[in-house]
Structure 1
Amino acid sequence: MAVSTVRRRRLGGVLRKLREERKLTAEVVAEATGMSQPKLTRIETAHTAAKIEDVNKLLDYYGCDDEDFRAGLIAITKDGSKRGWWLSYRDVLHATATDLILLESDASTLRTYEPAFIPGLFQTPEYARVVIDRLRTESSGTVEDMVQVRMARQSILTRPNPVQVWAVIHETALCANANRPDIMSAQLDKLVSLSRLSNVNIQVMPAGAAIHPGMAGAFALLGFPQRADLDVVLAEGLISSLWVEHPNDVEIYRAKFQEITAEALPVDSSLDFITAQRDKLK
């Protein structure tokens, strides 16, 4: 599997920034590290995947002694050699989905806002089946393939050193008709159970809330432990989604997420709301 496209761009961008901060030309760096100048340029522009030895040589030459920073860049470089459950679905996963799976597998934090649906990481198979069937636009794969992928992604919630998730879900998503009351009841029950995990925070955005940044649409901000420069945002749409990668833009999403959480119900009140909505369906 190729290195995650979005992460390759982040790696190239960071390496280019390190070179430019030192006012070095690509020709000078290439000669000093024994790398061809075209290869260095292709790495910096994400047109080719870097090898671990390439990254280490560059970091050594740039004098980077931050071991956490180095480990973060090496982790990106290793994406190409990863083997995981997603390989069984490589023929049905589009590029954005593959990138998301790889990024989620490395992320330490995930902040997400969902205005219309329960987040995929929280969905039951039955709820996911309804949502995917109604929204899917891909011609490859089956609904069941997509459901299985979504369920497998959820392993990051309960793995050793699980991802820390902070999700804000709009009230609309909690009150939607999922064909049968029992499907929605079970889905809300799962949210109640997940909210008890120490690594999961769930807030509800009430329908009567003031205008807030989340009204612009769903997004997920994935954070990585070694360096905020590597954090990325996935802004989701019906037909396509957009990766937001520039650190300044990611920081805007980070700040806007804080505004969203401030407008939403507190965690305890959110759990009460979800529980009450579930009980109405029983």
Structure 2
Amino acid sequence: MPDRDVRAFPDAGGEPGRPPAVAADLLGRHLRRLREEAGLRQTDVVAAKVIGSASMLSKYEGAKVPVHEEQVRALVEFYTDGDPGNLQACLDMAKEASVKEWWAEYRDVVPGHSDRLFSQERAAREIRTFETHHVPGLLQTPDYALAIMTEAAADSEGTLHEPDIARVRRRMAVRLQRQMFLFLPGAPDFYAVLDENVLRRTKGSTTVMRGQLRQLYSLAENNRRIHIRVLPFDAPAALAPAHNSVTLLTMEPGQGSDVVYIESSNVGGSYLSDQDSIDQHRQRLTTLFMGAAGKDATLEIIQSHIDRLVGQR
């Protein structure tokens, strides 16, 4: 079997601080590449008894299951006749993928559909997002976030129930830790477009909402990495994406593949990572940012909503 070029597997020796989800994504894509280079189908690997099923192999290649080093070793040895360079690179990446995420102690309050987003956003070069209902989580004040988290919720039968305060506190801790990385050296550029309805819709109280709007104004005016734009009420309908909440993570080289995260209130979140979808959403979000109100106009819109709430309680 021909020699493999492990340089196609970025930073094969490992990179300190790389998020586990990023390592798992890189490993999965490399395992697939090795299999395809060897001229093997997933069913061929199963037939050789290297792994239990094609569905499990698909999950390994898609970074959708916990990584086990012995399984990685078996796959790489089968694909490469035990090529030591590829084997060591994959085992190193498997170790990175097995490290606990920064939010592991809060697993009970982190929805399964959010874990990849929480992991990869810290290694992103650029984040673009669009929201129609709430201020993006990374830009929320503690009071605004608390107001959303403590809203009365309904169970499957439509019965309202009060939130679990202990869980809310743990969710708040995760939210605040997520926000911290945006203000650290080397933070990604963050581009957010907010439908003007987000500014109009009061959460908690007018005091809470004023505080949130003032923070948005300050960030939009002063932070060189955080770029906030408002999509005004009178903007062309065709500008807005089809989804209410869309986020695109553009990763640094060697830090995993770009990904689109789409969140829906009734089905949770889903991810798109094929290149066509990435390119389409990047173009759509970039066009949306350019078509929304400019920086000065955005500041005027935010200020108008602050003024609207002055004197209200």
TM-score, length basis structure 2: 0.71
Write the distance in 2 (CA, Å) between the matches of 1:281 and 1:10: 48
The alignment partner of 1:223 has SS state of strand
Displacement, 1:254?
A: 0.8
Write the distance in 2 (CA, Å) between the matches of 1:180 and 1:88: 31
Q: Which residue of 2 aligns with 1:274?
A: 302
Write the distance in 1 (CA, Å) between the matches of 2:225 and 2:111: 29
Write the distance in 2 (CA, Å) between the matches of 1:198 and 1:75: 34
Structure 1: runs of 5+ lacking an equivalent: 31-35, 65-69
Write the distance in 1 (CA, Å) between the matches of 2:94 and 2:306: 41
Write the distance in 2 (CA, Å) between the matches of 1:76 and 1:167: 34
C-alpha spacing 1:13/1:271, structure 2 compared with 1 (3 Å): same
Write the distance in 1 (CA, Å) between the matches of 2:152 and 2:132: 15
The alignment partner of 1:16 has SS state of helix
Write the distance in 1 (CA, Å) between the matches of 2:302 and 2:95: 41
The one of 260, 276, 300 aligned to 1:248: 276
TM-score, length basis structure 1: 0.77
RMSD (Å) for aligned C-alpha atoms: 3.9
1:201 paired to 2:218: no
Q: Tell me, yes or no, if the aligned pair for 2:23 and 2:96 is still in contact at 8 Å.
A: no
Cα-to-partner distance string for 1:93-121 (whole Å, 9 max, x where unaligned): 22123322211222221100001211000
Displacement, 1:135?
A: 7.3
Percent identical among aligned pairs is 25
C-alpha spacing 1:76/1:151, structure 2 compared with 1 (3 Å): farther
1:103 paired to 2:120: yes
- The alignment covers a number of residue pairs equal to 267
C-alpha spacing 1:83/1:228, structure 2 compared with 1 (3 Å): closer
Q: Tell me, yes or no, if the aligned pair for 1:171 and 1:206 is still in contact at 8 Å.
A: yes
Q: Which residue of 1 aligns with 2:7?
A: none
1:115 paired to 2:140: no
Between Structure 1 and Structure 2, which shows a larger proportion of helix residues? 1
Q: Which residue of 2 aligns with 1:146?
A: 171
The alignment partner of 1:118 has SS state of coil
Which one has a bigger Cα radius of gyration?
2
C-alpha spacing 1:75/1:265, structure 2 compared with 1 (3 Å): farther
Moved more, 185-194 or 260-269: 260-269
Write the distance in 2 (CA, Å) between the matches of 1:80 and 1:229: 16
The one of 35, 51, 67 aligned to 1:38: 51
The alignment partner of 1:207 has SS state of coil
